């Protein structure tokens, strides 16, 4: 059996003049959590609906378990879709909701009952089976919708923004629950979300989408540490990455960025100056994650704290440098600083991201 359970080849979908999905291709491995991540309108839900058979592509192919299912109906595919609104049948009991797909397969009552009770126990729904679905909470409705899918043993579970309607506390618990269920059932999951935190926490791999295209595919670590362009760099990461426009120069193994009203000395010594000389005098945008700017009395940069954001056990300091550049610096809550303080900073240049100013594409890999 192939390790590839889903393959999309050059999928394009148009709605009038709008190209909702533009030449999208990717493979999903068996037992993998693969997220489609991007802003509203980027094409991720349309892609999911094409996988589910609810939309037909204008061109391209969809393969499930090696079979071309591009023009097959949803019922003929080994997939199950959980919608954002969960779409449980409110007038039915939890038991009847979970049993719905099994009865559609015309299984006998004993087999239906056995499967429903097994899956209900795994999802902590066994004490709710006799209750009408309209009488239970949103998190329980979500579990009912997932149970209804898992009980029919699909090859692929499709989840469309499944946590959007939940409050923060329940959302955190359900993220853990989803990951546990996925590992226990060893099921392949395609997860659609605009929430980069969800994607980073749940996924084995992420496909970042924008304007109908796949921009980058990689593990959460790869997406975060090696964003392929400015869109990925700014969309993934919280607090948002710092971006500074300027011209890079190398002199006596010192790395400088001419930006704003002055030169920013990024490092007073670099081991491989030839790497930077390739883009000597080129207009670039450098990206620095807030955690890669460190408060250091011996730092090469000096700035003034203009604003402080408290984030639980962390703080984001907004620091003005050269009057025209504002940097976000992530530090712990116990750092003793106040608005108006002048502090010195050091940039971890081994984690620097350098992008072409015109194309926005990454042009140097520091790692």
167 with 266, same domain: the answer is no
The number of distinct structural domains making up the chain is: 2
Q: What is the CA radius of gyration of the chain?
A: 25
339 with 202, same domain: the answer is no
Model pLDDT for residues 5-31, shown as the tens digit of each residue: 999 999 999 999 999 999 999 999 999
Please state the three-class secondary structure of the chain as a single string: CCCEEEEEEEEEEEECCEEEEEEEEEEEECCCEEEEECCCCCCHHHHHHHHHCCCCCCEEEEEECCEECCCCCHHHCCEEEECCCCCCCCCCEHHHHHHHHHHHCCCCHHHHHHHHHHHHHHCCCHHHCCCEHHHCCHHHHHHHHHHHHHCCCCCEEEEECCCCCCCHHHHHHHHHHHHHHHHHHCCEEEEEECCHHHHHHHCCEEEEEECCEEEEEECHHHHHHCCCEHHHHHHCCCCCCEEEEEEEEEECCEEEEEECCEEEEEECCCCCHHHHHCCCCCEEEEEECHHHEEECCCCCEEEEEEEEEEECCEEEEEEEECCCEEEEEEEECCCCCCCCCEEEEEECHHHCEEEECCCCEEEEECC
State whether 165 and 21 are in the same domain. yes
pLDDT category at 1 given cuts 50, 70, 90 is: low
User: Which CATH number does the domain housing residue 159 bear?
Assistant: 3.40.50.300
**131 φ/ψ angles, rounded to the nearest 5 degrees:** -85, 140
Mean pLDDT across the chain: 89
Q: Is residue 37 domain-shared with residue 115, that is, in the same domain? A: yes
Considering the domain architecture, whether residues 250 and 289 belong to the same structural domain is answered as yes
Q: Per the domain annotation, does 48 fall within a domain?
A: yes
Q: What is the pLDDT of residue 3?
A: 92
Report the alpha-carbon distance of residue 187 to residue 150 in Å, rounded: 9
Interatomic CA distance for residues 349 and 356, integer angstroms: 17
pLDDT of 38 higher than 80 = yes
Domain that residue 51 falls in: 4-229
Q: Average pLDDT for residues 126-151, to the nearest whole number? A: 85
Residue 27: inside a domain: yes
Is the preceding peptide bond at 239 cis, omega within 30 degrees of 0? yes
Which of 203, 229, 255 is the endpoint of a domain?
229
pLDDT above 90 as % of the chain: 51
Tokens of 41: 């309108």
CA-closest candidate to residue 362, choices 240, 260, 234: 234
Average pLDDT value for residue range 232-244? 95
Structural domain contains residue 237: no
Lowest mean pLDDT among 6-20, 159-173, 237-251, 335-349: 159-173
Phi and psi at residue 204, to the nearest 5°: -85, -40
**Among 38-47, 69-78, 250-259, 299-308, which stretch is predicted with the lowest mean pLDDT?**
250-259
- Indicate whether 267 belongs to any domain: yes
Answer yes or no: are the C-beta atoms of 132 and 90 closer than 8 Å. Answer: yes
Residue 236 lies in a domain: no
CA distance 167 to 134: 18
Torsion of Cα atoms, 66 then 71 then 73 then 76, to 10°: -30
What's the confidence (pLDDT) of residue 177? 76
CATH number at residue 308: 2.40.50.140
Q: How confident is the model at residue 366 (pLDDT cuts 50, 70, 90)?
A: low
- Give a yes or no: residue 292 inside a domain: yes
**Which tokens go with 264?**
């920013």
The residue with tokens 């979500």 is 142
Q: 152, 101 in Cβ contact below 8 A?
A: yes
- Indicate whether this model's pTM tops 0.85: yes
- 58-111 pLDDT per residue, tens: 999 999 999 999 999 988 888 988 876 667 888 889 999 898 888 877 778 888
- Residue 107: its pLDDT value, please? 78
Q: Which pLDDT belongs to residue 269?
A: 77
């Amino acid at each position: 059996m192939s390790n590839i359970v889903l393959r999309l080849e050059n999928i394009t979908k148009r709605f009038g003049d709008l190209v909702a999905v533009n030449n999208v291709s990717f493979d999903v491995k068996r037992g993998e959590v693969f997220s489609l991540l991007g802003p509203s309108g980027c094409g991720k839900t349309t892609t999911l609906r094409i996988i589910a058979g609810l939309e037909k592509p204008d061109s391209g192919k969809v393969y499930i378990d090696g079979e071309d299912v591009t023009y097959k109906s949803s019922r003929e595919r080994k997939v199950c879709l959980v919608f954002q609104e969960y779409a449980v049948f409110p007038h039915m009991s939890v038991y009847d909701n979970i049993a719905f797909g099994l009865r559609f397969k015309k299984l006998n009552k004993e087999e239906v009952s056995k499967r429903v009770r097994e899956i209900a126990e795994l999802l902590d729904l066994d004490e709710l089976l006799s209750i009408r679905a309209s009488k239970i909470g949103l998190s329980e409705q979500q579990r009912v919708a997932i149970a209804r899918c898992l009980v029919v043993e699909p090859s692929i579970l499709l989840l469309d923004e499944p946590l959007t309607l939940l409050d923060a506390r329940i959302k955190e618990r359900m993220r853990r629950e989803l990951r546990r269920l996925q590992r226990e059932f060893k099921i392949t999951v395609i997860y659609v979300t605009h929430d980069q935190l969800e994607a980073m926490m749940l996924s084995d791999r992420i496909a970042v989408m924008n304007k109908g295209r796949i921009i980058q595919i990689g593990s959460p670590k790869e997406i975060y540490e090696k964003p392929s362009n400015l869109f990925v760099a700014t969309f993934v990461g919280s607090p948002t990455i710092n971006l500074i426009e300027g011209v890079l120069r190398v002199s006596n193994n010192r790395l400088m960025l001419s930006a704003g009203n002055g030169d920013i000395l990024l490092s007073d010594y670099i081991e491989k100056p030839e790497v930077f000389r390739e883009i000597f005098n080129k207009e670039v945008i450098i990206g620095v994650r807030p955690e890669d700017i460190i408060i250091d009395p011996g730092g090469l940069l000096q700035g003034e704290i203009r604003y402080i954001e408290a984030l639980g056990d962390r703080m984001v300091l907004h620091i003005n440098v050269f009057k025209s550049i504002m940097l976000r610096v992530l530090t712990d809550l116990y750092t003793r600083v106040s608005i108006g303080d002048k502090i010195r900073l050091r940039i971890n240049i081994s984690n620097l991201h350098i992008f072409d100013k015109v194309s926005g594409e990454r042009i140097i890999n520091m790692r």
